[in-house]
Structure 1
Amino acid sequence: MFSAVDGLDSRRPGAELYDLALRATRRAESVEHMALDLFARDVAIDPPLDAEALESTRGALLAHLEQTGGGEVRSVGADGVHDTRRTVAGEPLISIVIPTRGQYIEVDGVLRCFVVDAVRSIRAKSTWQNYEIVLVIDSVAEQRVVDELVAIGGPRLRFVVWSKPFNFSEKVNLGVLHADGEYVLLLNDDVEIITPEWIEAMLALAQRPGAGMVGSMLYYADETIQHAGHQYDGGEVSHIGLDAPRGDAGPLNGYRVEREVAGVTAACALMPTKVFREVGGLTNLLPGSFNDVDLCLKTTWQEHEIYWTPHAELYHFESKTRDASVHAFEIDVAWRRWGFRMEESEYWPHAFNRPVA
């Protein structure tokens, strides 16, 4: 392989090995992890990247992006963390599917309707303009909520009425059936957009060859991390980054960089519509919990890749609009299906942030 990729390039002084690694990944049929030390650099005596090395790094990244679909290098860092953004191809329609009860509730003494706030933030902050919003709304929704949503969403908004008992999975599946987009963006009704380019950041990864799903960085209202990807380890499931303060870099700067992950939460997940349909959508057997775990594991079982990006940031006021309790039968269904894959720590070989009960 070393000879096949023409070895080290003297035109990348200070970044020869980084450039070699990028070229090798472009030529490789697969990339595997080996639990052996094959090469080591003495970081104690290695000087930090100087201006020449940083410029070489930028050149290596630009060449890599040009060879893999295009993009821009926004910054290169002496700490090895570089901000690159891939180019979105075309202007595909994104169908944002939001299941909601459509009612005001009291939160900390204040009446709020989360779905109204969510739609307002989508409309006010999103720079991507080719989208529709499919609201799967309960038949008991308050009329004032419907009126406010119509006023905010306008012609982009489509209502699908739900009149059966709560089942998050079935509601989302119904919304996707009414969606026209080439991509579906599953979104909880209790979110608020932070990053204006949130759709572009996820879409650029969803357009990668073999991509099946892309997730985002979610924060609790108290500015701690709620989700930086799924972690399946030791037979348990949790969120990467849980409870870490916003701005924390994480192990090996893992909260700062786009990564392949075992899964992402359906609170905000973008998928090619054809992949959602291929894997059968969300299972109705998991009405409230672990339906997204099942969806992710079905997606990777079909050999699609799942990515997470820190460049799409949202607040997630988790479970403010529904009963968040986990039922024993949901644990039974999910683990009977996928217990044999709850050891996929190669995507995130670090301890859980919060002990799993």
Structure 2
Amino acid sequence: MSMSRLSCPQSEASIRPKLVSRLELAHDGTLSGFVYDAHATERRYTVEILLDGLVFSTAYADAFVPELSEQGLQASCGFAVTIDPDLLRAARILEARLANLGTLLGHPIDLESGRASLVDLRKTCELRWLGGLHFQGWIDGESALFLEAIVDGEAVAQVHATAWTHVGEAAAHRNVRAFDLHVPQRFADGRVHRVSLRREDGEPIPATAVFVAFPDGLAGMIDALGGYGAERLRGKLYDQLIPASLPLADYVNWRDRFPLLAPLASGLALAVVIAGAAGAEQTLAALETQTHEGWTAGVIDGEPLSVDTDALLEFLNDAASDTHHVVIAIAGVVLEPNALARIAAAFDAYPDAIALYGDLDFLAEDGRLWPLAFPAFDYERMLEQGYCAHLFAVRREALLAGLEARPDNLYRLFNCLLDRVGPRQANILHLPGALATLPRLDRTNASHQLAAASQMHLNARAVGADVTPQQGNLFPAVRIGRAISRQRVTVVIPTRDRLPLLRTCLDSIAPAVERCRADILVVDNDSVDPDTIAYLADLPRQAVRTLRVEGPFNFARLNNQAAAVLNSDVLCLLNNDIEASTDDWLEEMLTRLAEPDVGAVGALLTWPGGVVQHGGVVLGMNFAATHAFADRFADDPGFLDQLLVAHECSAVTAACLATRRSDYLAVGGMDEARFAVAFNDVDYCLRLRQAGKRIVLTPHAKLVHAESASRGADDRADRRGRFERELNLLRARWGEWLNEDPTYNPQLSRDGIPYGGLAWPPGPRAPRYNHLGPARDVPLGF
């Protein structure tokens, strides 16, 4: 016979939380406070904010509270919410309580008594681990701040908070000093470490982070240990979610640590054409060191970037008559020893490629080498920057066909290859990893030559356009303005209450709408505010259509229903928290959409303070999708001048997105079942790319976006579950392409903000086209 003992349950008093809390209201409308359980300090709580007994907001209490830290108490338990002044003026009692439990926090605030404290527990700094040895953060401060990084009590690095970023929401948004930090590689030992910061005078900064890093990633460590093959898949997923990186300034050491694989031997005979006299000796000297022996070289005398078509034909017909592949290089290019071998091997492996180009290196004035890491072939960027024309290789028959156009400079010599085929039909290959070091360019002269070349190419394609030289930073730059055909355009703006946002949006876009003779459709999703309802009712008198859609907020469904009722040629999806500052942004987006193979066009969006909020979307950052250049001001040139020229991205945000209605309907619009709120725009753009369309980001269209001002942030406690589910669905459907974004370089980091560092280790560096394969079919419910 067996016996069991039943234990008596603990008394209610013994398990009841012993809560410590406080609640304060500041003059700027910020409600802040903290809450923790003295018996279980590791617990975190969701807080409900109430006005006159009605819940209007929630917050997650996990912010750092300096005064608690100074007392040696649990310090990551604070919260802060900014409340609209109109709401405060209309209410009597402000309270906070624990979600689901109903326990009041602190003392209710009597708004009619005029009581308001200056205490504010909003974050003043942040330190965030991005993976590996990489950290980013910010700190309040007017001038550049100099900090010291401490790992396990040891000072390891100086940190200069000289950049800017944007924090907060709605009325509380502000620009703050930002910094980027990599700790020394010796801490990549698989052990847990703690990093903190202090000021120059030794004062600690109330921000810490715990991290663990592995040499060459967890999957690499598993391979090195051996015998744990079954765990490699788990290690690979870890490395995707928590990737590692090194600073761009460490490029030389990184390149030595991760050398390119030796190419397969090839018997191809290559003709090498050096364009220009100045610097030709350097290029010829580099040719003598090539591991590939089958080459013949010739120098075409002339000015930098110029091409003598007759001299080139003479060289091909005489000295290089037996070669079927031609390498074209600007004089002064210093080839890597394996450059010709890599080019020959790529043509062997990809017999359908008509041309190819590779990454380059750039030698700064101080002698330091920097990576010019390019995307897979980008037609729009070729037109506006000519980035791929300084060193490229082409099949002889394609080159001879192009020479019929009589090109007179390198940019025209490259783009003439596309005179007779569309941008998506040309098989142009990209070789990740540097083929050579690029000489300095006379950017003013180069911009004028590029402008002439792009104009001649577009004329050859019968595309009406104006091409204007611009000022570049590293490369030449031009601006393409294609002619716009007569078409009906409708700007679609979903909204729910928040009348000031909607009114500002409509007023600011009116000049652009009038200039393009566009229409506006406001999609009202269950607005209840009387002033908003009255404003919406009056809009038809101002020639603005409205459409009411009831039900829970579903951004994809709102836009889908708008597309269904419209008969426009072009849809411009626009958030109600967008504000235009110029009258040409819509026209600029339509000029990009004038190319029939462009499926969607996005704009450069900034926060109200001028920091970039969206400069295109890059796939794969922490195995997700991330806005590019969110660490820059709008007047920054961006990595390799990308904020100066239009270029392709895998996706753009639907906060401001132009697309043909026919394309929208052809791919089924946005996926309202799987991506109701987040990533619907990314998924839509990827399905357009899968259908053979290009996605273009134009920095020439600039607008201000108070992101999530209307609906709030996705990291709110009550929305995290939905956001995580949509992120997991994106990973499930597009996982392969999240790892290998064709518009991003595999050598660049995949943690934090794109273009911020070097991937450690790099992604696959095999030759690649700018193609996107099929997505996985993810049945509903999974």
- Residue 351 of structure 1 corresponds to 749
- Shift, 1:222, TM fit: 1.7
Q: Which has the larger radius of gyration?
A: 2
Match of 1:255 among 643, 648, 661: 643
Name the amino acid aligned to 1:332.
N
1:282 aligned counterpart, secondary structure: coil
- Residue 478 of structure 2 corresponds to 83
Q: Which structure would you say has the larger RCO, counting Cα contacts within 8 Å and 6 or more residues apart?
A: 1
- Shift, 1:263, TM fit: 0.6
Q: Distance in 2 between matches of 1:279 and 1:302?
A: 8
Residue 184 (structure 1) aligned with residue 582 (structure 2): no
Q: Distance in 2 between matches of 1:195 and 1:129?
A: 13
Q: Provide, for residues 186-241 of structure 1, a one-character-per-residue CA deviation record: whole Å limited to 9, x for no partner.
A: 11110001231111111111121211111110001121111111100252210111
- Shift, 1:355, TM fit: 5.0
Name the amino acid aligned to 1:174.
Q
- Residue 319 of structure 1 corresponds to 708
Quick one: structure 1 residues 245 and 36, their matched pair in 2 at CA, closer, same or farther if it must change by over 3 Å?
closer
- Residue 502 of structure 2 corresponds to 115
- Residue 442 of structure 2 corresponds to 48
Q: Distance in 1 between matches of 2:448 and 2:618?
A: 35
Residue 301 (structure 1) aligned with residue 301 (structure 2): no
Residue 66 (structure 1) aligned with residue 459 (structure 2): yes
Q: Provide, for residues 17-46 of structure 1, a one-character-per-residue CA deviation record: whole Å limited to 9, x for no partner.
A: 1110121233454143332789757505xx
Q: Name structure 1 gaps, 5 residues minimum.
A: 105-112
- Residue 211 of structure 1 corresponds to 598
Percent sequence identity over matched residues?
25
Residue 3 (structure 1) aligned with residue 391 (structure 2): no
Q: Distance in 1 between matches of 2:557 and 2:416?
A: 44
- Residue 338 of structure 1 corresponds to 734
Quick one: structure 1 residues 174 and 210, their matched pair in 2 at CA, closer, same or farther if it must change by over 3 Å?
same
Q: Does structure 2 conserve the Cα–Cα contact (< 8 Å) formed by 1:131 and 1:156? A: no
Quick one: structure 1 residues 188 and 37, their matched pair in 2 at CA, closer, same or farther if it must change by over 3 Å?
closer
Name the amino acid aligned to 2:482.
T
- Shift, 1:311, TM fit: 1.2
Q: Distance in 1 between matches of 2:444 and 2:699?
A: 26
Q: Distance in 2 between matches of 1:146 and 1:137?
A: 9
Name the amino acid aligned to 2:679.
F
Residue 128 (structure 1) aligned with residue 524 (structure 2): no
- Residue 614 of structure 2 corresponds to 227
- Residue 110 of structure 1 corresponds to none
2:663 aligned counterpart, secondary structure: helix
Q: Provide, for residues 305-326 of structure 1, a one-character-per-residue CA deviation record: whole Å limited to 9, x for no partner.
A: 1111011111010001113224
- Shift, 1:118, TM fit: 0.5
Quick one: structure 1 residues 150 and 117, their matched pair in 2 at CA, closer, same or farther if it must change by over 3 Å?
farther
2:430 aligned counterpart, secondary structure: coil
Q: Distance in 2 between matches of 1:306 and 1:42?
A: 28
TM-score by length of 2: 0.41
Q: Does structure 1 conserve the Cα–Cα contact (< 8 Å) formed by 2:479 and 2:645? A: no
Quick one: structure 1 residues 308 and 22, their matched pair in 2 at CA, closer, same or farther if it must change by over 3 Å?
same
1:117 aligned counterpart, secondary structure: helix
Name the amino acid aligned to 2:498.
Q
Match of 1:280 among 668, 679, 693: 668
1:264 aligned counterpart, secondary structure: coil
Match of 1:194 among 581, 584, 588: 581
TM-score by length of 1: 0.86
Q: Provide, for residues 78-106 of structure 1, a one-character-per-residue CA deviation record: whole Å limited to 9, x for no partner.
A: 753323233233221111111100234xx
Map residues 21-32 of structure 1 onto 2, 5 A cutoff.
21-27=414-420, 29-32=425-428
- Residue 107 of structure 1 corresponds to none
Q: Distance in 2 between matches of 1:100 and 1:78?
A: 39
Q: Does structure 2 conserve the Cα–Cα contact (< 8 Å) formed by 1:228 and 1:255? A: yes
Out of 198-207 and 149-158, give the one that drifted further.
149-158
Match of 1:242 among 630, 646, 662: 630
2:468 aligned counterpart, secondary structure: strand
Paired residues, what number?
Answer: 341
Out of 305-314 and 138-147, give the one that drifted further.
138-147
Q: Name structure 2 gaps, 5 residues minimum.
A: 1-397, 715-719, 755-782
1:2 aligned counterpart, secondary structure: helix
- Shift, 1:126, TM fit: 4.4
Q: CA RMSD in A?
A: 2.6
Q: Provide, for residues 121-176 of structure 1, a one-character-per-residue CA deviation record: whole Å limited to 9, x for no partner.
A: 11145453321111111333434234445667744311111221111111111111
